[in-house]
Structure 1
Amino acid sequence: MTDIRPMDLGEILDGGLTVYRRHFSLLVQLGVVALWLPVALTIYLQLSGGPQLHPVLYAVTLLIQYFASLLLTAGAVRVISDSYLGHPPRLHDALSLGFSKIWPLFVVGIGYAVVVFVCMLVPGVIAAVLIPILAKGGAAIPALIVGLALFAGAVWFLVFVACGYALTTQVVVLEELGGSFDAFGRSWDLTRGFKRKVFATAAVALIIFSLPAACVAVLAEALRQPAPPVGQAFTVLAALLPIVMTPLLSCIFTLMYYDLRVRREAFDLQVLGQQLGIG
């Protein structure tokens, strides 16, 4: 059983990697069960001419992959939490919790997408109104300055909001809520005063997650013409990587959730066990 305590950025990353390595086999099994179908469809699409030749199948694949990723993420949170409680993680328990949380996570995901869209839309509308007015008045330089300022402000605001709602998945999976949208307020409360830490942790985690996929994708594209069989092998590998890498994101974000709850609420193992119904 591992104590839950406040952690700095390095400790969260190290702890996430430790849990990921300790339960790598189980997390990969979970990834295979959750993602085998969308991964198989993705491989078929990539090897049969690309998504542009199969737009309907591509859309269906994206939809299936989204729901499968929700299942994998929720299941991984259960594995991580069981590990902290000293309770042997089991694939059945992870899948059971994952299936029970798919719909709430889907609702929250839709809400998150709407929030992000609004955050991008408002500055865009303001820019579309102000910049032409300034440009017509012969104020090209002020128009450019206003455009750059609006762009910078929009990026900052989008990142700020994204950091505030970064823990909605963990909240939905680990807490009892009156409704799915309560996860937004709950995540915002937990991240209040810690958004820089959330941003830094999320940025490093996303780099760790994206770098292998980017490298493999570049190799696949580079070898597609000179060595088609090797290029296809790298294409298949790129499609398989989410099975292995997605649980790592869950490990890091779940430990960040633990850290913020400990800091704000003296969150401990007993509370975690009660939330999962095993304490």
Structure 2
Amino acid sequence: MLQPGIIPLRPLGLGEILDGAVRAVRANPAVMFGLSAVVVTVAVALQTLVQLYVTSLIGAALSDTTLDGAMTAADSAVFSELLSTSGGQALTVPLLIPVTSVLTGLLIVSVSRSVLGQRVALREVWRTRRVWLLVGFALLQLLASLLAVALWIGALAALAAAGADGAAVAVGVLGGLALVALLVWVTTRTLLVPPALMLEGKRFWPTVARAWRLTRGSFWRLLGIYVLSNLLVSVLMYLFLVPAAVVAGLVTAASGSDDLTVLVSALGQIVGLTLSTTFLAAVVALLYVDVRIRREGLDLDLARAATGAA
């Protein structure tokens, strides 16, 4: 069994994919961790600055409107701080989507080389211009998601305005479940689009269509591995985010400053997002390799490439 790099060149099992993702990080830490840390730090720093500004605007707007007879001044202040902080964070989260898309694409290039036992230099990764196709795809996904949610909310609002409370409840529950199911289905069917866009060198829409076809017959396997990987990443992230949240709460209680809370939370987010993006990018890249080995005999091409490189 030939194994020139991080995985054996044959159909992969669950353990081999997860182990290969870890091996991909260890094979080229300068790109997988170093590049991730730099990009995520810059992105989170910009997001934090925007969040602090948005939070101050929301807090100023709420300071005069949340105080009524049912709330004391202290309660109103706490409510305003909570709403402004959470509102600022919610409004700035989409800023990270293009950044994580770029980073995922760059990391996929490194993982693909590690499969052959090769290492890609950081300067070579930066020259990969196809990553902008991945940014465009991520923005299209975001736009489609926002449109679907807007249609659902619009239907709820129209039914509520017409006095059809029963129908509004039914649309709210059934429509919400349908949206979740649709999101899971589309996410799984487009899971292999990022590595296909980065590695195949073809035009945008034909590549998206090809990646969609690659997932046929592998839906439940891809979904299961991807969900498990996200669960593992979530546990790992909470190991950093929960202590950061506790420290942020203590800082707020001691200083009374929301700004310090945001900054402490940002530090935890940098570590968590670096780890999660790195691991998930490696998993997706290896799933792409695995599906192509199963459907197209990619292992033979990889074996020839590895032998020729040697």
Give the superposition deviation at 1:129.
6.4
Give the residue type in structure 2 aligned to 1:190.
L
Question: Is 1:165 aligned to residue 190 of structure 2?
Answer: yes
Structure 1 residue runs without a partner (length 5+): none
Q: Judge conservation of contact 2:9–2:303 (CA < 8 Å) in 1.
A: no
Give the residue type in structure 2 aligned to 1:268.
D
1:238 corresponding residue in structure 2: 268
2:226 corresponding residue in structure 1: 202
- Root mean square deviation of aligned Cα: 3.8
2:55 corresponding residue in structure 1: 52
Separation of aligned partners in 1, 2:304 and 2:226: 26
Q: Judge conservation of contact 1:4–1:268 (CA < 8 Å) in 2.
A: yes
Question: Is 1:215 aligned to residue 242 of structure 2?
Answer: yes
Q: Judge conservation of contact 1:71–1:101 (CA < 8 Å) in 2.
A: no
The correspondence of residues 1-279 of structure 1 with structure 2, limited to 5 A, is 1-2=4-5, 3-42=8-47, 44=49, 49=52, 51-53=54-56, 65-97=96-128, 100-121=129-150, 135=164, 140=166, 144-145=169-170, 147-178=172-203, 180-211=204-235, 212=237, 214-226=241-253, 234-241=264-271, 242-268=273-299, 270=301
Give the residue type in structure 2 aligned to 1:92.
R
Residue-by-residue CA offset, 1:42-98 (whole Å, 9 max, x unaligned) = 45567xx5642379x999x8787444433322221111111111222321222222x
Give the superposition deviation at 1:197.
2.0
Give the superposition deviation at 1:119.
4.2
Q: TM-score, normalised by structure 2?
A: 0.69
Q: 180-189 vs 119-128, which deviates more?
A: 119-128
Q: Judge conservation of contact 1:32–1:243 (CA < 8 Å) in 2.
A: yes
Residue-by-residue CA offset, 1:234-267 (whole Å, 9 max, x unaligned) = 4352142123432111111111111111111111
Give the superposition deviation at 1:147.
4.3
Q: Judge conservation of contact 1:168–1:184 (CA < 8 Å) in 2.
A: yes
Q: Compared with structure 1, are the counterparts of its residues 266 and 134 closer, same or farther at alpha carbon in structure 2 (3 Å cutoff)?
A: farther
Q: Judge conservation of contact 1:76–1:250 (CA < 8 Å) in 2.
A: yes
Give the residue type in structure 2 aligned to 1:53.
S
Separation of aligned partners in 2, 1:80 and 1:221: 35
Q: Judge conservation of contact 2:28–2:119 (CA < 8 Å) in 1.
A: no
Provide the aligned length of Structure 1 versus Structure 2. Answer: 266
Structure 2 residue runs without a partner (length 5+): 59-87
Separation of aligned partners in 1, 2:40 and 2:220: 32
Separation of aligned partners in 2, 1:227 and 1:74: 42
Percent identity over paired residues = 23
Separation of aligned partners in 1, 2:294 and 2:117: 22
Give the superposition deviation at 1:214.
3.7
Separation of aligned partners in 1, 2:162 and 2:13: 48
SS in 1 for 2:298: coil
Q: Compared with structure 1, are the counterparts of its residues 208 and 234 closer, same or farther at alpha carbon in structure 2 (3 Å cutoff)?
A: farther
